């Protein structure tokens, strides 16, 4: 397989999701252009990353709730190494505080690092990385 233009010599064009029973709903949502986050059916708490039980009340019952995709940069870092398939290097990665009240770690590739600031309004952008549906955040 040929590298993508920014595949950084890894031999792969993108990172395939590492899904499992906890994450399958999330990736299925991305295929539909939706950012889904778990909400506990017992106490109502949102939780991310996905997990089998609620960290607040330990309930195993939950639903997948679509988020607005709106939020602000809570924190960010710049990834330099190792090279990641499908990403230019360096590229920014942010912790986004979604307006619904849960945080989400997301790529911000496509946004110049020097333009990113804590508190900056951002919104989700649904994209494809090769065959894989994905989400990244960009300036709102």
- Which residues of this chain interact with Zn ion, rule CB under 5 A? 40, 42-43, 45, 54, 56-57, 59
**In this structure, what token pair is assigned to residue 65?**
């709730």
Pick from 131, 133, 127, 94: nearest CA to 12 = 131
Q: What number of helices (H) and strands (E) belong to the chain?
A: 1, 8
Cβ-based nearer residue to Zn ion, 40 or 67: 40
Q: Could you tell me the smallest distance in angstroms from the CB atom of residue 55 to Zn ion?
A: 8
Q: Could you tell me the smallest distance in angstroms from the CB atom of residue 108 to Zn ion?
A: 30
Q: Could you tell me the smallest distance in angstroms from the CB atom of residue 67 to Zn ion?
A: 18
Cβ-based nearer residue to Zn ion, 63 or 75: 63
The rounded distance, in Å, linking the Cα atoms of 126 and 112 is 18
Are residues 85 and 12 in contact, defined by beta-carbon separation less than 8 angstroms? yes
Cβ-based nearer residue to Zn ion, 45 or 132: 45
Q: Could you tell me the smallest distance in angstroms from the CB atom of residue 39 to Zn ion?
A: 9
Could you write out the DSSP letters of every residue in 58-110?
----EEEEE--SEEEEEEEEEE-SS--TT--SSEEEEEEEETTS-EEEEE-TT
Cβ-based nearer residue to Zn ion, 16 or 60: 60
């Amino acid at each position: 397989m040929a590298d993508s233009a920014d595949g950084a010599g890894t031999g792969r064009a993108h990172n395939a999701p590492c899904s499992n029973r906890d994450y399958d709903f999330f990736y299925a949502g991305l295929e539909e252009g939706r950012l889904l986050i778990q909400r506990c059916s017992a106490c109502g708490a949102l939780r991310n990353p996905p997990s089998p039980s609620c960290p607040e009340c330990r309930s195993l019952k939950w639903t997948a709730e679509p988020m607005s995709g709106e939020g602000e940069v809570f924190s960010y870092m710049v990834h330099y190494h190792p090279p990641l398939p499908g990403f230019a290097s360096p590229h920014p990665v942010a912790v986004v505080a979604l307006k619904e009240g849960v945080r989400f770690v997301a790529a911000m590739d496509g946004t110049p690092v020097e333009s990113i600031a804590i508190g900056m309004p951002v919104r989700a952008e649904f994209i494809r990385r090769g065959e894989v549906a994905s989400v990244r955040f960009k300036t709102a």
